[in-house]
A and B are shown apart, each in its own frame.
Chain A
């Protein structure tokens, strides 16, 4: 009955807005249901770091910066305006006046300082602390030796000044990350470690109910600082729902968004089902699926061997295996990312040339090796395709299919995993800047035990150029900076530490009554949808 009542309430609410007439023109009101299989973990912006809670947190909290909905274009949000000093080291943010937290208190500059101090404090255990490394005083604060970041200063209630220890062209992106979303001190202190279960922010929605293992409910925040937003009255996130059951319920009109998307095995059936015509939105995302070749382990320390493997992999076939849910890749950066080189050709699929190259490297008879892969569908099937491609040029790869956490652990060991298929664990950018695709996964900093540079690729010269590129913080240098990044990535690819395999496309499946501005269902930062802007259209 509970569910039926909710649906009835939804119908009643939309009927009321229909009656009101003017309300309909604004597309205001209504409740939607989003389903997920897994429980929602924390909603603490300093801690939440999975694709499920990422956009939920974005609707509860705001940062100084944000992105234009559906795009990767930076705009001020809690900041009304900002200035950058000529040396690119001092950022001064003027706060928007009259912004309120869900508890009714007005946001002030000291909240911004508290938030940044908290996220780098080791006690917080924030997975995002490292993003703030450019702020002056980071080392002392993150080691727990200082009381906070010496580089963040409150000038008055409406002004906060952030001083960097080095110019950082990505700093405004960092200010748009969830980790920098502003939290009220008094509520954090009241709930301590459980703040993530009692989130209070300045966002479009406030969390009004959380029944563990069943649902989380977001309700419209009436004092939201953006006029006319959010559109919906309520969003219910139901958890514990198998993706396949979610699709059945979607077909019956019981839910609005199947949060986990379309199960890979059901992809063709669902996309060919006329019932779902017009319910599926396709878009690209900042994702690359790649094979890492451990450059510190023989024989992959040999450039020719790595290049041969790059030519041996039939990427079109792998894309077919996943029912065309991706486009083949030839370089580390995804096409949506600034710095993607459209003219770059990469290594063409050519098993004969690969074989010749392998012979040149002294492996005419091939060799045996191991291929690590996460054990959830479709990854093992993709690994089998890779295995076949490798065997065509004489490389015998034994598949090690393990739980994801164990593959990640193996990749973080210098001499453990010669080849890893990254599927399910591959890099999705935290923010739309090429820099984010370098440091942790291809730079020397990531080639450490427990790091994410599973190819253990470290080129000190490129590292220097990368650092120099990120120091080009002046807006007039933006273009030159992206050009430099473009060169860095194609040079990396020539050294072949990875086989870039494909860029995954995103498919959002939702009820036909949902609508919104262009692009919000494939928003690069809000997955599956930008909850602040989505509305119920009765015109369908």
Chain B
């Protein structure tokens, strides 16, 4: 087990190194000149040159990358070119909002998705099953901005049950979590349904039924835990997905998460922020998957970590 975790962590470090290298090289190739951007339109050539020198932008690529790595290992993500703050501070300020939305969205999709999936599996091939699957299909297919704006318009603008965007109270999180939840619910319910149907055909389920165990007990005691495994893997993927920034939903609802920061930085080619956000989200994806893999053996003892 420990050997497995250590091996995975080493792998994770290598993946992050690779991500940092690829991102750095891509941003290096962008034709925008950071020194000129910082200097602004009224700067003299001398000012631009000074800035280029101070930031080390005149150094060869490998030296710039090396410098970045050395600083990174000391926890220094650099300073934003345009926001003029420490990138680590900017990301840290937005982490709580991103984490909160992630937890709320995962809870929403998990509860709704599992519920719908189980009902659909139990009522397999009935009109109820068909209806629920159409709902989940629509949920998967609908673009986030359509769902988001629709919910915003109906529940915030027309009915005025919720604030029009913002952050700070429980009321603020309902609509963004629901928007993300509808999408996730589609995935989770379909996954839950097929997984449960699959498990229900297993021998041990037939045995349990044959010895007279009540149907609901068979489902909840024996079938559900065994059918739950893919859901856990999906949560692991979702953690990474949500932490890499949910640009559209955050923009629609004015949610101060990492997605907005990333989007602003990309539009203005603020390279240190783009680097920082990419690394943080790569980290989240790698760790999310690792955690999901580590939890799996506890849910299903048949799995052994090697």
Contacts and interface: CB of A to CB of B under 8 A. Distances in A.
Interface of A: 1-3, 38-39, 41-42, 44, 47, 49, 122-123, 125-131, 133, 142-144, 193-194, 196-197, 211-214, 238-242, 245, 248-249, 252, 254, 403-406, 408-410, 412, 427, 430, 440, 448, 450-452
A212 B93 contact: yes
Nearest to B171: A1
A409 B84 contact: no
Nearest to A416: B31
Interface in B74-130: 79, 82-85, 89-90, 93-94, 97
B269 interface: yes
A1 B169 contact: yes
B163 A212 contact: no
B43 A214 contact: no
Nearest to B41: A452
A517 B168 CA distance: 36
21 contacts: A47-B84, A122-B47, A125-B39, A128-B40, A128-B42, A129-B47, A131-B42, A197-B85, A212-B89, A213-B256, A213-B261, A241-B166, A245-B252, A252-B164, A403-B32, A406-B30, A408-B32, A409-B33, A412-B33, A412-B36, A450-B36
B268 interface: yes
B26 to A, nearest CB: 13
Interface string B154-190: 0001000001111111010000000000000000000
Given A41-B83, A197-B85, A452-B41, A214 B252 contact: no
A133 B256 CA distance: 41
B31 A409 contact: yes
A3 B163 contact: yes
A96 to B, nearest CB: 28
A39 B254 CA distance: 12
Return the 9 tightest CB-CB contacts between A and B, nearest first: A127-B40, A212-B93, A405-B32, A213-B256, A42-B84, A2-B168, A122-B50, A405-B269, A130-B44
B32 to A, nearest CB: 4
A1 B165 CA distance: 13
B166 A3 contact: yes
A130 to B, nearest CB: 4
Contacts of B89: 212
Contacts of A403: 32, 267, 269
A41 B82 contact: yes
B75 to A, nearest CB: 17
A125 B97 CA distance: 33
Contact of A248 (B93, B157, B261): B157
B67 to A, nearest CB: 18
B23 interface: no
A3 to B, nearest CB: 6
A3 B97 CA distance: 17
A430 B41 CA distance: 10
Nearest to B80: A41
Given A49-B40, A405-B30, A408-B36, 9 more contacts: A44-B84, A125-B47, A127-B38, A129-B43, A142-B47, A403-B32, A405-B37, A440-B42, A450-B33
Contact of B36 (A130, A214, A409): A409
Interface string B38-80: 1111111111101100100000000000000000000000010
Contacts of B255: 240
A378 to B, nearest CB: 16
Interface of B: 30-33, 36-48, 50-51, 54, 79, 82-85, 89-90, 93-94, 97, 152, 157, 163-169, 171, 250-256, 260-261, 264, 267-269
A486 to B, nearest CB: 23
Given A406-B30, A409-B31, A450-B36, A242 B264 contact: no
Contact of B51 (A125, A405, A427): A125
Nearest to A452: B41
A196 B84 contact: yes
Nearest to A47: B84
Contact of A144 (B41, B43, B50, B169): B50
Interface centre among A41, A131, A238, A440 (most CB of B within 10 A): A41
B166 A211 contact: no
Interface centre among B82, B152, B254 (most CB of A within 10 A): B254
Interface centre among A127, A143, A239, A451 (most CB of B within 10 A): A127
B251 A242 contact: yes
B167 A214 contact: yes
Contacts of B157: 248
Contacts of B32: 403, 405-406, 408-409
Nearest to B265: A39
A300 B167 CA distance: 53
Given A42-B83, A213-B261, A241 B45 contact: no
B42 A130 contact: yes
A142 B46 contact: yes
Given A249-B164, A406-B30, A241 B254 contact: yes
B79 to A, nearest CB: 7
B252 to A, nearest CB: 7
A245 B164 contact: yes
Given A249-B164, A450-B48, A193 B31 contact: no
Contacts of B267: 403-404
A240 B42 contact: no
A451 B42 CA distance: 9
B42 A430 contact: yes
A403 B264 CA distance: 12
A436 B82 CA distance: 24
Contacts of B260: 213, 240
Contacts of A242: 165, 251-252, 254
A166 to B, nearest CB: 16
Contacts of A197: 85
Contacts of B167: 214, 240
Contacts of A129: 43-44, 47
A409 B36 CA distance: 8
Nearest to B96: A213
A450 B45 contact: yes
Contacts of B30: 405-406
B97 A440 contact: no
A125 B50 contact: yes
A416 B267 CA distance: 22
Contacts of B252: 242, 245
Contacts of A142: 44, 46-47
Contacts of B165: 241-242, 245, 249
Contacts of B264: 38-39
B31 A410 contact: yes
B164 A127 contact: no
A133 B205 CA distance: 85
